[in-house]
Copies of this chain bind each other. A is one copy, B any other.
């Protein structure tokens, strides 16, 4: 059972995951060869993964058989374990709890070689619906406080398998980054009685310099203080704290804009490595008037060195206005 330990100096939780040490890749930055399929995530090899948690397939298909378009399975090497109690306890001045959580893989397509940006918009919408369904389900487990959905694309961004997939991790504590967002958003709301994210969107839409793509329900833009070149956020126009409360129309529009952004990044930067992150309200804050869910897309073009690690500052060599203009100007078919 992995252990969750809290760093008392900065309030950060660390998963001390002893089970993972057996994978040799844990000691080195992985460099897997681009070797093509089929792999355990491909159609027809469903018996090579743990039994599925969820799949979208036509009526005739059987559980853990082929015929699916999106399939969710437990991670074979989970960072946190689904069984067990939290058992929060102290060790002198330190805080520790059992490493309980859910770690799932969302296989985005039965096809080994079709990345998110190469799928039709309807297939991307299905993936977003799978995110929604899994978050809504995990919300029912009262050991969990929050779910983070994320995607690592490319070795440099931490992908260790090439078949297109996202992951989600449900945690028994609110992650520090989400807690910080909640804190600043609440403080802004306390002063202005408006949602910080709604105000950001209003100012971005007025200014236009950092707007990248607009849908009926969502907007993609480069954030004012982008940490990395070509960082892009996608945010719903209407205030909404919890992603899992989105309706189908919103998800379809979001899929369309997400696909547009990924296609533009692919064309402009030749298939860059990137991380996709979904920040949504923790459980119990679904109706929060100050929080607003959003996707963050972080291309990995530069490394993180000592200054960034030690200070929390980031150095971004590309102004987000330039990045947004370059992506607006990038033609996609």
Interface residue ranges, A against B (CB under 8 Å):
3, 5-18, 20-21, 23, 26-30, 79, 91-94, 148, 150-152, 156-159, 167, 169, 171, 175-178, 180-181, 184-185, 188, 196-197, 199-200, 203, 207, 223-227, 229, 275-279, 296, 298, 300-307, 309-320
Contacts and interface: CB of A to CB of B under 8 A. Distances in A.
B18 A307 contact: no
B227 A14 contact: yes
B307 A298 contact: no
Contacts of A277: 306, 309-310
B307 A169 contact: yes
Given A8-B184, A171-B313, 18 more contacts: A5-B225, A9-B196, A10-B181, A14-B316, A16-B225, A16-B319, A16-B320, A26-B318, A27-B229, A79-B307, A93-B199, A93-B203, A150-B310, A158-B305, A167-B307, A176-B312, A275-B309, A276-B306
A20 B315 contact: yes
B302 A177 contact: no
Nearest to A203: B92
Contacts of A224: 5, 7-8, 91, 94
A52 to B, nearest CB: 22
Copies of this protein in the assembly total 2
Q: Which of A13, A15, A79 has the most CB of B within 10 A?
A: A15
Contacts of A275: 305-306, 309-310
B303 A9 contact: no
A180 B10 contact: yes
Contacts of A171: 311, 313
A302 B29 contact: yes
A11 B177 CA distance: 11
A295 to B, nearest CB: 10
Nearest to A226: B14
A323 to B, nearest CB: 11
Most buried by B among A23, A148, A150, A316: A316
Contact of A196 (B8, B298, B314, B320): B8
